[in-house]
Structure 1
Amino acid sequence: MRRPSVRALARPLAGVAAAALIPLVPAFSAAPAAAEGIVGGFPVDVTDVPWTVALSSRDRFGGTRSGQFCGGVAVGPTTVLTAAHCLEEDVLGSPPHEVPDLKVIAGRTDLRTDHGQEVAVRESWVNPGYDDVSNSGDFAVLTLAEPLPPGAVVAMAGAGDPAYAAGTAATVYGWGDVSGQGDYADVLRAASVQVLPDTLCERAYPAGGDGSYLAEAMVCAGRRLGGRDACQGDSGGPLVARGRVIGLVSWGSGCGRSGSPGVYTRISDALRKLGWDRAGHSHMAG
């Protein structure tokens, strides 16, 4: 089975400038992409969505865009959720604990500036049940060395939350590719999408194709005709509906393609597997 089109940046080869970062897998958009957005999106100030953060390593990705390679979402003062595949050796070149400057950047709209804060990652935990063939269980937890400012946290949608209902308006955030052609944003972008029926992604991604859509672990979102989507470099970033995070950018076929919606890690599934409640508190023994 071919590896799913995950949406992290690939680590540049030695001697390649950071500005020439290449997607982990080839991607393209069949629909015209707006020049100003994720794919069909718009600029947004991070002060309006302070829980949207960037994962950074200048050692691995250079300093042009603050070393950004994935996104994340702050769900607690020192707790960030991101995609499991963002922390794979295919992306980082080594296990995350061996990356000397792995950080989370908060409060920085434009990656070319030094606004906001860069917080060291004290500990990383990758879901051991992550399946890199289907992409089921694509989530990881970063524990920060110091807390983010008050208010820089978003609520999580638990099982049964109406925010997961098909047709619900949602927004995805990130600093990734704006066209599917390797045109990476310097400024935070957002795209207005909809939660789509699970059946749409089940038809688009049957077992044995680019990946396997599993409704209990994933959320299908985008536009039926394409044109608005997350893309490479947006992995781990939040999909938000009704003021709550419902998904993490995970995978898809191309970016913004009609008939190939974006696939997101379902937050309620991550909560269940982590033993957390919607406030991020653990109910697991020990």
Structure 2
Amino acid sequence: MISRLVFLLCFTVLVQKATPSDILDVLGDVINALADAVVSTLFDEDTDTSDKDLDWLYELLEPEDQCNPNPCHNDGVCEVVDDDDFRCSCPPPYKGKTCQKVRNICKKANCVRGECTVTLTPPYYECKCKEPYQPPNCKVASSCNPSPCLNGGTCHKGVTRSSFWCDCPANYTGKLCQVGPDDCYEENGENYRGNVSETVEGLECLPWNAYFILSEAVDLSEYNILKELEHNNLCRNPDGDARPWCFVRHKNELTWEYCKVRKCFGSGNETEPIEPNEETTEEPTLIPEEDFATCGQPQTKRVAARIYRGMKAEPGAYPWQVSLQVRPKGTDIDFGHYCGGILIRSCWVLTAAHCIDNSTEKQVVLGAMNLKKLDPDVQILDVVEAINHEDYRETPEAWYNDIALLRLKGSEGRCANETETVRTACLPTETFPDKTECTISGWGATEKAYISNHLLYAPVLLLSQKRCMEEKVYGNRLDGSMLCAGNMKGGVDSCQVCVCVCVCVRARVRTCLYTHPICVYAP
């Protein structure tokens, strides 16, 4: 194949009167063929690795009635193996300790110029080919026969079998003339059902049921793309973001981008974020009896969670999440994210004591999703006082009693305003038992020192304090001021056991203040 393409390149240059564009097209095919050969060699085997499989964490949990409630997701059937273990029988294409992952049914699919997608019927995969490549395995290209151009567009062949372009009729756009004159979204685009499949950066969207997406999902019970989203690569807004978006493959990593979709004329105006209040803060002597109307109540969960080096949080999913931002005192440089925090009262934020630096000015940002692109309903408030725990101390190995309170600037005892994206978390009134399901959230650094601009979250389980204090896990580094939790995401460079401060969210769900935890790795 490669030799034929090299011959075609020479023929195009030496014999035909080729334009620079023609030469680039042929050269591109040669490079793509080489890339396909490399990918085929490197990824012929199943890419699942033990580094990503953290089912070992269940061994740290104390025994209980293992199948009540049923721990198996995606219609898995639970079977008690003995007093302290269970087994899930997972329907295809699911797998994992709790049927929370999807099998790599694509490892033998070999979708050469396409994307392998997962289905719920045998053989549980399908190749979605890029035009003009043809099914079933996307190996053969057939430009303009049949014509891929829609809405009366005319197909024109390029120099190679895989190159073509569509001459679209008036008012139609897109690579295949699929975007009509009325293709636009209203409000935030949750009801958008148009045909755009290109991002603002010009990348082509991945199919929603692509294995490349599903293989990164932490828990498919919360990730209903296989059941609820259309099986195409069209831009949608299933989680109530600011506008339609899609997943893309960039440098062979999974990420997402907003789509190149036009907003309908007259569909709404934008407002500016709420800036810090200039009025003097009233000194609160007591915490008001009545604060926000509710605590620990996130916005209704949307359809799909986005994954981005962890899972990308949905708007309103963690309305108590705070970004603590700092800058040197006496300067006018921009504030920058420094630590996470949790809103517990209108004028009070809980954060980590090791985040308090008295040489800096501080502010908090509430209701934010992307710190580089603040939404209109974001609230920004100054910090007027920081109070560390009286027994806070640092050692080379750990921070102890690592909590602090931030008092915010406001007026008449009111600082933050309750909205759909800004709410308080509830303070706990109980001791959380082992195996309690919690969630960590924030913009903090990973083990690769990467800092996300977008709010991320990941599920964890609270682990037995006794087990965590064993020599092979934490030993004497763990004390009563900490909770031991297991990160269910994993990966070779991920923190697999961490210490965090938890606050109660709802009856069966908790959230953790997660800044820079102590981390150890699985043996």
TM-score range relative to shorter protein: 0.5 to 0.7
Could you tell me which residue of structure 1 aligns to residue 426 of structure 2? 155
CA distance 1:111–1:58, shift in 2 (3 Å): farther
> What are the residue-to-residue correspondences of 1:35-184 with 2, within 5 Å?
41-59=310-328, 63=334, 67-87=336-356, 92=357, 95=358, 98-100=359-361, 102-115=362-375, 116-133=378-395, 134-146=398-410, 147-150=415-418, 152-160=423-431, 164-178=432-446, 180-184=447-451
Alignment check: 8 A CA contact 1:156 1:244 kept: no
* Distance in 1 of aligned mates of 2:324 and 2:352: 11
Amino acid at match of 1:157: P
Deviation at 1:68, TM superposition (A): 0.5
Pick one of 182, 185, 188 that aligns with 2:455: 188
* Distance in 2 of aligned mates of 1:113 and 1:222: 31
* Residue-by-residue CA offset, 1:202-238 (whole Å, 9 max, x unaligned): 122223xxxx101x31110014895465999x98797
* Residue-by-residue CA offset, 1:73-125 (whole Å, 9 max, x unaligned): 011111100011111xxxx4xx2xx423x011101100102331211001110
Could you tell me which residue of structure 1 aligns to residue 478 of structure 2? 213
* Distance in 2 of aligned mates of 1:59 and 1:38: 34
Amino acid at match of 2:517: W
Amino acid at match of 2:466: T
Alignment check: 8 A CA contact 1:73 1:81 kept: yes
CA distance 1:223–1:53, shift in 2 (3 Å): closer
* Distance in 1 of aligned mates of 2:382 and 2:343: 14
Alignment check: 8 A CA contact 1:193 1:222 kept: yes
Relative contact order (C-alpha < 8 Å, sep 6+): which is higher?
A: 1
**Residue aligned with 1:118, SS:** strand
CA distance 1:79–1:237, shift in 2 (3 Å): same
* Distance in 1 of aligned mates of 2:496 and 2:385: 27
Amino acid at match of 2:360: V
* Distance in 2 of aligned mates of 1:192 and 1:167: 12
Alignment check: 8 A CA contact 2:392 2:400 kept: yes
Amino acid at match of 1:121: V
Amino acid at match of 2:448: Q
* Distance in 1 of aligned mates of 2:308 and 2:503: 15
**Residue aligned with 1:176, SS:** coil
Deviation at 1:248, TM superposition (A): 5.1
Could you tell me which residue of structure 2 aligns to residue 269 of structure 1? none
> What are the residue-to-residue correspondences of 1:270-281 with 2, within 5 Å?
none
* Residue-by-residue CA offset, 1:9-53 (whole Å, 9 max, x unaligned): xxxxxxxxxxxxxxxxxxxxx946966699962000342211001
Deviation at 1:144, TM superposition (A): 0.6
Structure 1 residues not aligned, in runs of 5+: 1-29, 260-286
Alignment check: 8 A CA contact 1:174 1:230 kept: no
Alignment check: 8 A CA contact 1:83 1:235 kept: no
Alignment check: 8 A CA contact 1:170 1:195 kept: yes
Alignment check: 8 A CA contact 1:175 1:186 kept: yes
CA distance 1:158–1:130, shift in 2 (3 Å): same
* Distance in 1 of aligned mates of 2:496 and 2:504: 10
* Distance in 1 of aligned mates of 2:489 and 2:456: 20
* Residue-by-residue CA offset, 1:240-260 (whole Å, 9 max, x unaligned): 673444655452135xx325x
**Residue aligned with 2:475, SS:** coil
* Distance in 2 of aligned mates of 1:239 and 1:248: 14
Matched, 1:251 2:520: no
**Residue aligned with 2:434, SS:** coil
CA distance 1:113–1:226, shift in 2 (3 Å): closer
Structure-1-length-normalised TM-score: 0.61
CA distance 1:125–1:52, shift in 2 (3 Å): same
Structure 2 residues not aligned, in runs of 5+: 1-49, 54-215, 217-253, 256-305
CA distance 1:250–1:182, shift in 2 (3 Å): closer
> What are the residue-to-residue correspondences of 1:195-234 with 2, within 5 Å?
195-203=462-470, 204-207=473-476, 212-214=477-479, 216-223=480-487, 226-227=490-491, 229=495
CA distance 1:236–1:82, shift in 2 (3 Å): farther
* Distance in 2 of aligned mates of 1:245 and 1:150: 19
CA distance 1:114–1:248, shift in 2 (3 Å): closer
Amino acid at match of 1:176: G
Deviation at 1:168, TM superposition (A): 1.4
* Distance in 2 of aligned mates of 1:194 and 1:253: 15
Which structure is larger by alpha-carbon Rg, 1 or 2? Answer: 2
**Residue aligned with 2:354, SS:** helix
Q: How many residues align?
A: 206
Structure 1 stretches (4+) deviating beyond 3 angstroms?
A: 30-40, 223-232, 234-241, 243-250
Amino acid at match of 1:251: P
